Structure 1
Amino acid sequence: MENGSTLRKRWGFRSNPELNMATDNTVRSVLFMLLSKLNNSDTRPVIPLGHGDPSAFPCFRTTQIAEDAIVHSIRSATFNGYVPPVGILPARRAVAEYLSQDLPYALSPDDVFLTLGCTQAIQTVVTVLSIPKANILLPKPGFPYYEAIAKSCHLEVRHFDLLPHKDWEVDLDSVNALADENTVAMVIINPGNPCGNVFTHQHLQKVAETAKNLGILVISDEVYDHIAFGKNPFVPMAVFASTVPVITLGSISKRWIVPGWRLGWLVINDRNGILKEHGIIDCITAYLNISSDAPTFIQGAVPDILSKTKVDFFSKIVNIIKEAANICYEGIQDVPGIICPSKPEGSMFVMVKLDLSVFEDIEDDVDFCVKLAKEESVIILPGNCVGLNNWLRVTFAIEHSALEEGINRLKAFCARHAKKP
């Protein structure tokens, strides 16, 4: 009989390697890696130019109306129990009314599905579309969470280009070239993350016509809706829902500066009943039946948050972000080795290109960001995380003095690593 200490049981489980590969390049994982590279002996504050979360800065505090709505919701003791998987009716009605303000038609509460932040909205729609042999078209650069979820669902990903020399418009020729009979949808992000662009009405119409001709739906990520401060006003993709079915994703996270409140939505804009006919709406409901719900007390507060927030709050936030965008864009012009192809006009980000020929000892965008974190305690997201190697995504939605300090440190870093004459 074998010695008990040498006996081994063959266990029947193992980890899922595809899940690890799908999530090793998400924003969270990369930023966590960069934070681990910080020099603990550097007593200067860390400058966070990598993550779109301005809530830590007092100038970006949310409106008191939203805070009061949360307090009232909790103290009412009305929202302590389970709720329908699609969300409570008053909150869904409030979202429908809020979004309908920008549309030529009125949404119904039945068009609205509340989610645990916009991330669950992404997870829901991508999972619902993940049928055998299907593929989905994603923008490059784009938000990596889409790709991570698609890969975890075995949904093939194909990338179409955004054109930096055309204010990051969709390269519709590449969309047409990539699509085939197994393509189910294309994703757009407007206002743009990571590019800081805002699509024109005319360009969105072309996107809608292209998608219609290909027989695919448009997933429009509008989590930064109305955070637009350039020549183009924000136009929701759902304006074109008579041309092509549109699924709109959004949340209160960015416009109200409360990403931690985790209240998002998935909205059906299906003027011709195409999504209903093909079972997509029933499948969304089925998926939410096995998912987590958005916090009930947040849902209870949504009607007041959406209907009572004053215009001056939104104007104040957009003006702060606009000024920060100007500080960032103008400051980067003087940084050696960094090129900004277009001025940001929306969201909280800008994409800038690295000219590696300027530097003595920088291998690529990841090497740049790791060394920048170690030497200057500045966190910037490497472009390969969003699909463009040797680019950087810079977040400018932070307090202005911190942003100026971050750009000064970035300039010193680039000068230090530049090739000597």
Structure 2
Amino acid sequence: MESSSASNEEVTAVPASWNFEPNETLLGLMALSVRGVLARIKAEMVAGGGGGRPVIPMGHGDPSAFPCFRTAPEAVDAVAGALQSGEYNSYSTCVGLEPARRSVARYLSRDLPYELSPDDVYLTNGGAQAIEIVCSALARPGANILLPRPGYKLYEARAVFSGMEARYFDLVPGEGWEVDTDSVRALADKNTVAVVIINPGNPCGNVYSYEHLAKVAETARKLGVFVVADEAYAHLTFGERRFVPMGVFGAVAPVITLGSISKRWLVPGWRLGWIATSDPSGVFQRTKVASSIKTYHYICSDPTTFVQGAVPNLLENTSEEFFRRNIRTLKESADMCWEKLKGVNGIACPSRPMGSMFVMVKLDLSCLQGIEDDMDFCCRLAKEESVVVLPGRVVGCEDWLRITFAIDPSSLEDGLDRLRSFCSRHSKPAAQGSAASVV
């Protein structure tokens, strides 16, 4: 009996230490996550009560929960038909099903001066995985990538996790958030692999002109770097400028385009994106960028196969009226946002949004009492008014806010009125009636 007891004690003994140490790089990426920061704000809102009113979600980028932003019936039919066919229950090929890639190539080629082939297209689990794959494929020891500020911080997270250095160039608020190409040239060196642009803009709501994109392409050509064009919000434009894909300039500088069905079709949960290479000169083949992207697909997960099976019908058969209706709704919401933000104490909006689903506004904390920074502003706004907006630090600009206007119009109006009330309540007496100035 005694030997049995001793044996049990040996089995259940707890080691003095375990052979694990946390990856501090990974843990540090939480601060770069939109979801992580919004979760923190919402948690503080719940703890603070929020006044018991309905929550107005003006910080996320997913309008699909609202009836006015439901996807097209053709898209639903395409997925249902693919699933019911029984033909898409197997594993996909690593870069995506050929009919889906061919359909994406045709869809993108409509706006290009040359034809893409299925071999130029790689399907991904949404735009986020496209960013992961591109950053991983471009990474090498000592490499750096140039990112826009403000911008989408997932690029920095994936670049850092892949061992690359992230360097930031400025977007100029007073010039429609155009790329400061002087800043790009000053940052680039022999280890720079690519420059990222986001058009239409997240988080700024800007849309770049043909002339400005040509200038970016020429800058990249002179520096000998690739262009990564994030076009997740392609064609979601409602101002004076129409969307121009960066791939138009693929002969000037090779372009890696990232896109998805998430935003235009209002189905972010379907997780179907793509990487497309616009490179008529064959640079990506010679430098093995294309091979690197393809190889990475062998060690990552594939998009859901029946969604891939739906892509040809979804891209080719969705009615134009569906797209026009969404643009009208976005324009009305963007106009409301622009008008209601005027004259709000401590806030200034530098430019009218012309695309995507967002607008950036600048805080003037000197006009507000007891507000420390943009994070504090957002936490207090959530607690007191049940309105959630995103602090600008999450997109690279402290003491700014990113506001999403792609929600139900009545909720948007209510949320903007609550924002105005919050700023008025926290305004210093001398600041009543004044708004922030934008430099």
Query: TM-score, normalization: structure 1?
Result: 0.98
Q: Which amino acid aligns with 1:72?
A: G
Residue 328 of structure 1 corresponds to 337
Matches within 5 A, 1:124-139: 124-139=133-148
What is the CA deviation profile of residues 63-110 of structure 1, one whole-angstrom value per residue up to 9, with x for unaligned ones? 100000111011001001101010001100010010011011111011
Unaligned runs of 5+ in 1: none
> How far is the alpha carbon of 1:8 from its aligned partner?
3.3
**1:210-263 deviations in whole A, cap 9, x for unaligned?**
000000000000000000111111000000001010000000000001110000
User: Which residue is 1:193 aligned to?
Assistant: 202
Residue 60, structure 1, aligned to residue 64, structure 2: no
1:361 equivalent to 2:370? Answer yes
Task: Report whether the alignment pairs 1:51 with 2:60.
Answer: yes
Q: 1:22 touches 1:149 (CA, 8 Å); kept in 2?
A: no
Measured after TM superposition, the shift of residue 31 of structure 1 is 0.6
- For residues 340-419 of structure 1, the aligned pairs below 5 Å read 340-419=349-428
- Higher Cα Rg: structure 1 or 2? 2
Q: CA deviation at 1:273?
A: 0.6
1:121 aligns with 2:120: no
Query: Which residue number corresponds to residue 296 of structure 2?
Result: 287
Cα RMSD for the two superposed structures: 1.3
Distance 2:372 2:29 in 1: 24
Aligned residues: 420
> CA offset at residue 7 of structure 1?
6.2
Deviations 1:102-133 (A, max 9, x none): 01111101100000001010000001111000
Partner of 1:242: 251
Note if contact 2:133-2:293 (Cα within 8 Å) is conserved in structure 1. Answer: yes
Q: Alpha-carbon deviations, 1:298-336, whole Å to 9, x = none?
A: 000000000001111101001100100000010000311
CA contact (8 A) 2:50 2:385 kept: no
Letter aligned with residue 383 of structure 1: G
Match of 1:159 in 2: 168
**Equivalent residue runs for 1:191-270 within 5 Å:** 191-270=200-279
Moved more, 214-223 or 4-13: 4-13
Contact 2:358 2:403 (C-alpha < 8 Å) held by counterparts:
yes
> Equivalent of 1:8, from 8, 12, 15?
15
Q: Are residues 1:29 and 2:36 paired?
A: yes
Question: What secondary structure, in the 3-state scheme, does the structure 1 residue paired with 2:398 have?
Answer: coil
- Report if aligned partners of 2:254, 2:279 keep a CA contact under 8 Å in 1: yes
Match of 1:20 in 2: 27
Q: What amino acid sits opposite 2:65 in the alignment?
A: A
Q: 3-state DSSP class of the match of 2:51?
A: coil
Query: 1:149: Cα distance to partner?
Result: 0.7
Greater Cα offset, 40-49 or 362-371: 40-49
SS in 2 for 1:249: strand
Consecutive unaligned residues in structure 2, runs of 5 or more: 1-5, 431-439
The superposition leaves residues 337-373 of structure 1 with CA deviations (integer Å, 9 ceiling, x where unpaired) of: 1000000000000000001111011111000000001
The Cα shift of 1:26 comes to: 1.1
Q: Secondary structure at the match of 2:242?
A: coil
**Retained in 1: the 8 A contact 2:50–2:384?**
no
Q: What is the DSSP-based 3-state SS (H/G/I as helix, E as strand, rest coil) of the residue aligned with 1:232?
A: coil
Question: Does the CA-based 8 Å contact 2:271-2:303 persist in structure 1?
Answer: yes
Query: SS state of the match for residue 167, structure 2?
Result: strand
Q: Distance in 2 between matches of 1:149 and 1:343?
A: 31
Which residue identity does 1:406 align to in structure 2?
G
Q: Is the 8 A contact 2:205 2:355 kept in 1?
A: yes
Shift of 1:41: 6.1
Counterpart code for 1:14: E
What are the residue-to-residue correspondences of 1:165-180 with 2, within 5 Å? 165-180=174-189
| Counterparts in 2 of 1:413 and 1:78: CA distance versus 1, 3 Å | same
Q: Deviations over 1:21-46 (max 9, x none)?
A: 12322101101111101144632110
State whether residues 203 and 359 of structure 2, in contact with CA within 8 Å, keep that contact through their aligned partners in structure 1: yes
Q: Which amino acid aligns with 1:272?
A: S
